[in-house]
Amino acid sequence: MRYIVVGSSSYVSFVLNAIKEVDPRGVIFYIDRSQEISKMIASQFNINYAYGDLLDPSVYQRINADMADVAIAATDSDALNIRLIELFKKVFSIPRVATIINNPMNISEYLRTGVDLIINPTATIESMMKAFISSDRWIKSSTPELFGLDVYLNRFVKETALGITLSYIRDAIKDLGDVLVFVVSREGKIIRDPLYELVEGDSVVVVTPRGLGEEAIKRITRSIERLKVLRTGVDTGITRI
């Protein structure tokens, strides 16, 4: 496949590494305003390069951009990324266009372009930080939209005293259809046994079709709260997502 990667944001090296790993024989063109930067990056990754005004179609014509399969706008300016997406889509009809958003507040502007993938690094930071400092709380994992999945995780600590089994969690969402629920133990083992009872430090993973995850977690949370009332006689009235 043929790839075009544009910009010199701090994420460019990760983009290029990913392409090289997944498609070692792919043809990659890296483009930046600066000839020096373009040449340096191209040398580092052993790829092709071009340079010039990033919004000048002639820069891309020189590398036959209309033959590209994928283009990635990865500058440190959302305004420039948006214009690049439009250039790739409307002028060169590149089938798949991705971008890396700098400010999540600009997400609506990106969506208007018809871009195929918006990578939001801050979402990963938020979910990882929440997971690091929390327990007994559902955290939504940062999963690319193109996979069509919602993934939620919960590291159980205090609530394991309730005697929660994997089947109890599954029963709470059994009428939602295709929902995958499993446990990752403290030792890193995947557990699917429905009779397994959670112990402190176990993580429960819930995977649903996109858009169904929040409803699944609400049902599981309500079910656990009901169990807590039965076991302790205390109604917290709290739904934690």
Q: What is the pLDDT of residues 14-26, one digit of tens each?
A: 999 999 999 999 9
Count other C-beta atoms under 10 Å from residue 70's C-beta: 21
Q: Residue 197: its pLDDT value, please?
A: 93
Which residues share a beta bridge with 97?
71
Could you tell me if 99 and 119 are in contact, meaning their C-beta atoms sit under 8 angstroms apart?
Answer: yes
Is the model's pLDDT at 192 over the cut of 90? yes
Count other C-beta atoms under 10 Å from residue 210's C-beta: 13
Burial of 21 (0-12, 13-18, 19+ CB in 10 A): exposed
Q: What are the sequence ranges of the domains in the chain?
A: 2-119, 124-232
CATH code 3.40.50.720 for 2-119? yes
Lowest average pLDDT, out of 22-31, 75-84, 137-146, goes to 137-146
Tracing tokens 């919960």 back to the chain, one arrives at 154
User: Closest Cα to residue 119, out of 7, 25, 35, 214?
Assistant: 7
Q: Model-level pTM?
A: 0.69
Q: Residue 135: its pLDDT value, please?
A: 75
User: What band does 131 get if pLDDT is binned at 50, 70 and 90?
Assistant: low
User: Closest Cα to residue 222, out of 237, 202, 209, 208?
Assistant: 237
Coil, strand or helix at 38 = helix
124-232 topology per CATH: Alpha-Beta Plaits (3.30.70)
Q: What is the pLDDT of residues 229-240, one digit of tens each?
A: 887 765 555 444
Could you list the beta-strand ranges (E) of the chain: 2-6, 27-32, 48-51, 70-73, 96-100, 117-119, 139-140, 149-155, 180-184, 190-191, 203-209
